């Protein structure tokens, strides 16, 4: 059931799946991602493993507070701070934290700055979210197609036209696919649900990218003490697999599990038989 966590004139829409008596597993999505991108079946499988799965609409997405498109009234530091605010709103002292893409960078920041809130850390399809001994230029670079997509983005759709928005977002995801077959109708269903829950899709899709990052993390990610699992697609075109390998080397004791054929995307059903057991085993640690 959806509920709201409210603070300082901001409200975040939050949903818990499973029993609140079970250990909490907090899911943090990537840029522009409402909770709608967390597949219901995936959440149900994790909850069936004895986890209280918590997903939420980050600022500007879904039913959470929005700002005008192009004018985000928050920073990246605020997005990271929202993790603690969500946990406080649910009365949870510490959770197992799982972040995808930029959500993985947020998860790293929380693990560095508020280690008491993070029981375990799981990083999916992400790269360094703070200082590291590895230089960015020494990591594998994005594919030419991905680089070109950022340099010359497709024209905006009519953000009030549901199917135009669906077609725009689904088309934009193609460049981030790996070698696994992509179910575009499944992606379209996520976008339709997000569109129906979001008053302003332009703000949802643009503002995270425009927000100032906020103060940098002071300590390196090598200071992370939470047991860490790194799950990374072997065909990620934005952060090639070497990023996952480097994360696993940098964070003490981290374990790396490859997701065969996955690109830079929310984990598709083809990898769940690897991902779900790995996450449940990892989050059984104390």
Catalytic residue among 32, 58, 64, 101: 101
User: Which residues touch 237 (CB under 8 Å, ≥6 apart)?
Assistant: 142, 143, 145, 146, 175, 176, 177, 178, 263, 264
Catalytic residue among 168, 243, 264, 282: 264
Q: Are 230 and 257 in contact (CB under 8 A)?
A: yes
d(CA 136, CA 65): 34
d(CA 271, CA 254): 20
Element (H, E) at 52: strand 52-56
DSSP string, 65-81: ----TT---SBHHHHHH
Look up tokens 């036209």; give the residue: 161
DSSP strand pairing (24-28 vs 95-100): parallel
Distances (CA, A) of 87 to 33, 116, 141, 231, 272: 19, 12, 35, 24, 26
264 is catalytic: yes
HSE-up (13 A, CA, CB side) for residue 173: 27
236 is catalytic: yes
Catalytic residue among 78, 236, 243, 282: 236
Number of neighbouring beta carbons within 10 Å of residue 4:
15
In sequence order, the β-bridge partners of residue 125 are none
208 is catalytic: no
| Structure-block tokens of residue 11 | 């409200």
The region that residue 9 occupies, defined by phi over 0 for left and psi between -120 and 50 for alpha, beta otherwise, is left
d(CA 207, CA 19): 33
Provide the annotated active-site residues: 101, 236, 264
């Amino acid at each position: 059931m959806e509920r709201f966590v409210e603070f300082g004139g901001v409200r975040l829409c939050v949903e818990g799946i499973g029993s609140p008596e079970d250990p909490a597993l907090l899911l943090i999505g990537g840029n522009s991602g409402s909770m709608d991108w967390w597949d219901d079946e995936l959440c149900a499988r994790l909850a069936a493993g004895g986890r209280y799965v918590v997903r939420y609409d980050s600022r500007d997405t879904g039913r959470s507070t929005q700002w005008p498109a192009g004018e985000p009234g928050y920073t990246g530091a605020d997005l990271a701070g929202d993790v603690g605010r969500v946990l406080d709103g649910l009365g949870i002292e510490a959770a197992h934290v799982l972040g995808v893409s930029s959500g993985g960078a947020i998860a790293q920041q929380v693990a560095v700055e508020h280690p008491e809130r993070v029981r375990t850390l799981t990083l999916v399809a992400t790269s360094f979210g703070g200082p590291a001994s590895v230089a960015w230029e020494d990591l594998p670079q994005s594919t030419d197609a991905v680089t070109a997509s950022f340099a010359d983005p497709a024209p905006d759709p009519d953000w009030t036209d549901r199917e135009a928005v669906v077609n725009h977002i689904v088309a934009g995801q193609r460049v981030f696919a790996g070698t696994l077959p992509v179910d575009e109708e499944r992606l379209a269903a996520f976008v339709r649900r997000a569109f129906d829950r979001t008053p302003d899709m332009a703000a949802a899709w643009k503002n995270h990218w425009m927000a100032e990052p906020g103060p940098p993390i002071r300590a390196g990610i090598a200071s992370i003490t939470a047991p860490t699992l790194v799950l990374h697609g072997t065909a990620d075109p934005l952060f090639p697999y070497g990023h996952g390998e480097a994360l696993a080397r940098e964070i003490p004791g981290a374990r790396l599990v490859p997701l065969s054929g996955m690109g830079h995307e929310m984990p598709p059903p083809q990898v769940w038989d690897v991902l779900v057991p790995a996450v449940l085993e990892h989050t059984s640690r104390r």
